[in-house]
Amino acid sequence: MDKKNVRGFLEFVYDFYKSMKAHEITLVYEGEITHQITKAFTSLTESNMAKEEESNSVQKKVFHVMVECLQNISKHADSFGSDDFLFAGRGIFMVSKGDSEYHVTTGNVIENSKIDELSKILDYINTLDKEGLKQLYKTQMREGRLSEKGGAGLGFIDIARKTGRKLEYHFLPIDEESHFFILTSTISRNE
């Protein structure tokens, strides 16, 4: 890097740092989500929460949501762009911590053909109350088969149940074939 580029890069690093601080992000990752990554992130967050004496119930909720979000990416994220730039099973994963809540955010590429089905599931989950979610979870456990990737269609229902909130999601267009799917789950710190 020449001097000008070095300076540009250093500014980027500092801006990135400031931006993370501003958004209270405690963990950010982009890349392939493997089982090892899932274990590392959950245990890191767990020990941080224990250090901060977060209540057991909040710790458990954050743990649940993190695991299901990470597994969603590893099982469902589509590849992006040309064949030499494979993005399957990859995505961005973030945890942020504010005064009153934790946010777990995931972002991954999804092919346009899958959007309808995914939004239908998410919207349906969002129409249900606590009891409805419980019934759906039970039905899905009984009837839903484990897909070849090991998903049972239960992750989103579990996130909605554990957070007690509607699933907050968006699709941002990337190109003609795919969108970027963003899901933010919020866990309240005061119960």
Partner 1 sequence: METIKIMGTDDTPTVILDAENEIYEISGRSLPEDVTAFYDPILGWLDEYASSPNKKTIFTFKLVYFNTASSKLLLDILMKLEQMHEAGNDILVRWYYPEDDEDMQEAGEEYADIVDVPFEQVGYTLS
Return the range that interacts with partner 1 (CB under 8 A); candidates 23-31, 77-85, 151-159, 168-176. 151-159
Q: What is the 3-state secondary structure (H, E, C) of 98-136?
A: CCCEEEEEEEEEEEHHHHHHHHHHHHHHHHCCHHHHHHH
3-state secondary structure of 32: strand
67 binds partner 1, rule: CB under 8 A: yes
68 binds partner 1, rule: CB under 8 A: yes
Q: How would DSSP label each residue in 162-186?
A: HHTS--EEEEEE-SSSEEEEEEEEE
47 binds partner 1, rule: CB under 8 A: no
Near partner 1 in 69-88, by CB under 8 A: 71
Q: Which helix (H) or strand (E) holds 142?
A: helix 130-143
63 binds partner 1, rule: CB under 8 A: yes
179 binds partner 1, rule: CB under 8 A: no
Angstrom distance (rounded) from CA 60 to CA 66: 10
Nearer to partner 1 by Cβ, of 68 and 78: the residue is 68
40 binds partner 1, rule: CB under 8 A: no
Residues making up the chain, counted from first to last: 191
- Sites of contact with partner 1 (CB under 8 A): 35, 38-39, 43, 56-57, 60, 63-64, 67-68, 71, 134, 137-138, 141-142, 144, 146, 150-152, 154-155, 157-158, 162
